[in-house]
Amino acid sequence: MDSKTLTLPKRPFRQRFHVVGLTALLLLLIGLWGSAQITGVNVKMLVDNLNQFVVLLVEMSHPEWAYLSVIWPPIIETIQMAMIGTTIGTLFAIPMALIAAHNIVKNPFIRGCVRLFLDITRSLPDLLLAALFVAVFGIGATAGVVTLAIFSFGMISKLFYEAIETIDAGPFEALNATGANRVQMIAFAVVPQILPAFISYFLYTFEINVRASTVLGYLGAGGIGVYLQRSLSEFDYSDTAVIILATLVVVVAIDGLSTFVRERLA
Amino acid sequence: MREMMTTTTIDQSVRKGRWQYRVQWLFWGALVIGLYVWAGKGLQFSGVQASAADVSKSILHGILNPDWRYVYNGSGEDLTSEIIQTIAIAFLGTFISAFISIPFAFWAARTEKGKWHLRSTSGKFVLTLIRTFPEIVLAIMFIKSVGPGSYAGVLAVGVHSIGMLGKLFSEGIEEMDRGPEEALVSVGGNRTEVLCLATLPTLLPEFISYTLYRFEISVRSASILGMIGAGGIGTPLIFAIQTRSWSRVGIILIGIVVMVMGIDWLSGQLRKKLA
C-alpha cells in the first residue's frame, strides 16, 4: 500500500497548540492570582493560626447535651417559620408563574417584565433580605417569615412556570375548541396536569427553607439562629455543637420525609 | 342473574373505591390543616415594631433614590471595589476548592457494585458533614483564626464549596462513560496514563460546568458573609442598615442585583458552550 495515503490529517494551528485550552488556563491563573492579591491571601498566616481553628473544633467535639432542652422550642419555631413562609410565597408565586409561562400569556413584553422582576427577586440572597426585614419589623419571627416568603416566591415562581411550560397542549386545545374561557382552561386543563409537580416543588422549596431558616436568626429573624448567634458570641462552642447537630438531625428528617412524599407523588 | 351479580359487585367496588378515595382526601386535608394551625399558633407575630410602616416607607424612598456618588469615589471603599472584592472572594474560594474536591470526589464515588462500600460510604459521609456545617459558623471560625476580612471569607466559601462540589463531582464519576478508560487499558496504559488521558479529559467539561454553577452560588454567599465580618459587599451593607442610611442601602442592593445577574448570565453562557 502507498504510504502517502496513510498520513495523519493535518491539524490547524489552533488545535495543534491547544490555543483555546491554554488561553482559558492562563485566564484562570491570572484570575486566581488577581483574586489572591485583592483578598490578601496569606498561606503562612493560615498555617500558623490553624491551631486556633483546631481548638474550636475540639471544643465543638464535646457537645453540651443538657442544652438540648433549651433549643428545642426555637427549632420547632424554625420549622413553623419555614412552613408559613413557604406557603405565603407559594400563594403569591402561582399567579406570577401563570403570567410568566409562554403558553399562557402570549404577549412577550408582559412575560419579559415579569421574568425580569422574578430574576431580580431571586438574585437577592436570603440573609440580606433577613437583615432588611429585621430593620423593618424588628427582631422576631415575623422578619423571618417575610424573608422566607420572598425567597421562596422567587424560587417557586421559576420552578412553576417551567413546569407549566412543559404541559401537554392537547387538553388545553380541546377545552379551547369547546369554547371554554381562560379561567376554565386553567382550572380543567392546566391544574390537573401540573398539580403533582407543584406539590413536589413546594416540598423541595420547603426543604431549602428549613435549611435557610436555621441561619436567618443569626441576624435576628427568629428561630434557632438566634441561639446560634448567642452561643458563638459567648464562646460557648459546646452549645454551638449541640445546635449544629440538632439542626442537622431536623434537616435530615425533614429532607427524608419530603423526599418520601415526593417519590410517592412521582 | 349472573350478569346482574357482576354489575352489582363492580358497582360496589366502585362505590367502595370512591369512599376510600374520599377518606384519603379527608385524611390528608385534615393533616395539612392541622399542621398549619399548629404552625400559625406557634409563631408570635405580635413582636412587630410600631414604626414598621414608617421604616418601610423610608427604605422604599432610599431604594428609589440611591446614593449614586457611592458607586465610585476612589477611596477603595466604594461600591465598585467592594463588588470586585466580593467576586474575588467567590472566585478564589470556588476554583481552589474545585481542585481540592477532585480527590474527595474519587474517594466518595461508588465505582464498584454493591450498596455499601467502606471507601465510598466514608467519603460521602465526610462530604455530607462538610455540607451541613453552616457557612456562617465556618466563617466565624475562620475569622477567629485569621482575623476579620476577605481572607476569612475565601476560606469559608472554599471549605463549604468542597462539600457540594465533591458530591456533584463524585456523582459525575459514578455516571461517566467507561469506554475511553477501557480503550486505554486494552492498549496497555498504566494507571497514571488512564487517569490523565482518559478519566480526567472525560470528566473535565462536567467538572468545569459544576464549578461555574457553584461559583454562582458562592457569589451570593460572599455577598452575605461580609455581614458577619468576612469581607466583601456585606460589610458596608450591614453598616448602612444599622445607621439607617437607606439611600446607601439602595445603591448597594442595586449593585448586588447587577453583580449576581451579570455573573449568572456569564456563567450560563459558558456552561451552554461546554454542554
Task: Tell me which residue in A28, A136, A141 faces B56 most closely, judged by beta carbons.
Answer: A136
Please list every residue in chain A whose beta carbon sits closer than 8 Å to the beta carbon of residue B221. 125
Q: pTM here?
A: 0.83
In chain B, where the domains are located: 60-274
Task: Tell me which residue in A36, A53, A240 faces B145 most closely, judged by beta carbons.
Answer: A53
Note whether B151 contacts A: Cβ–Cβ < 8 A.
yes
Q: Does A39 sit within 8 Å of B151, measured CB to CB? A: yes
CB hemisphere CA count around A259 (13 angstroms): 7
Note whether B130 contacts A: Cβ–Cβ < 8 A.
no
CATH number for the segment(s) B60-274:
1.10.3720.10
Residue with cell 474575588: B88
Cα Dmax for chain B = 97
Please list every residue in chain A whose beta carbon sits closer than 8 Å to the beta carbon of residue B136. 215, 218, 228
Coil, helix or strand at residue A179 = coil
Task: Tell me which residue in B55, B133, B153 faces A244 most closely, judged by beta carbons.
Answer: B133
* C-alpha cell read off for A95: 399567579
What is the per-residue pLDDT for A10? 80
Evaluate if residue B104 carries a pLDDT over 60: yes
Q: How far is B172 from chain A (nearest CA, A)?
A: 21
In chain A, where the domains are located: 66-265
Coil, helix or strand at residue B229 = coil
**pLDDT tens column, A15-72:** 777 888 889 899 999 999 988 888 888 788 788 878 878 888 888 888 888 888 888 8
DSSP line for A129-156: HHHHHHHHH-SSHHHHHHHHHHHHHHHH
Q: Does A131 sit within 8 Å of B134, measured CB to CB? A: no
Helix axes A126-137, B200-225, angle to 10 degrees: 10
Please list every residue in chain A whose beta carbon sits closer than 8 Å to the beta carbon of residue B40. 80, 84
**pLDDT tens column, B17-44:** 778 878 888 888 898 898 888 888 877 7
Helix axes B150-174, A43-60, angle to 10 degrees: 80
* C-alpha cell read off for A260: 418520601
Q: Does A87 sit within 8 Å of B36, measured CB to CB? A: yes
Evaluate if residue B93 carries a pLDDT over 90: yes
Instruction: Supply the ipTM of this predicted assembly.
Output: 0.81
CATH topology of domain A66-265: MetI-like fold (1.10.3720)
Mean pLDDT of A150-161: 92
Cα Dmax for chain A = 87
Taking alpha carbons only, the member of A133, A240, A199, A6 closest to residue B49 is A133
Q: How far is A145 from chain B (nearest CA, A)?
A: 9
Q: How far is B14 from chain A (nearest CA, A)?
A: 22
What is the per-residue pLDDT for B7? 60
* C-alpha cell read off for B182: 477501557
Evaluate if residue B211 carries a pLDDT over 60: yes
Confidence of residue B1 (pLDDT cuts 50, 70, 90): very low
A interface mutation test: which of B61, B224, B256, B266 has the most A CBs within 10 A? B224
Q: Does A131 sit within 8 Å of B145, measured CB to CB? A: no
For residue A89, what are the contacts with CB-CB under 8 A and spacing of at least 6?
A: A148, A149, A150, A151, A152, A153, A155, A156, A205
Q: Does B136 sit within 8 Å of A218, measured CB to CB? A: yes
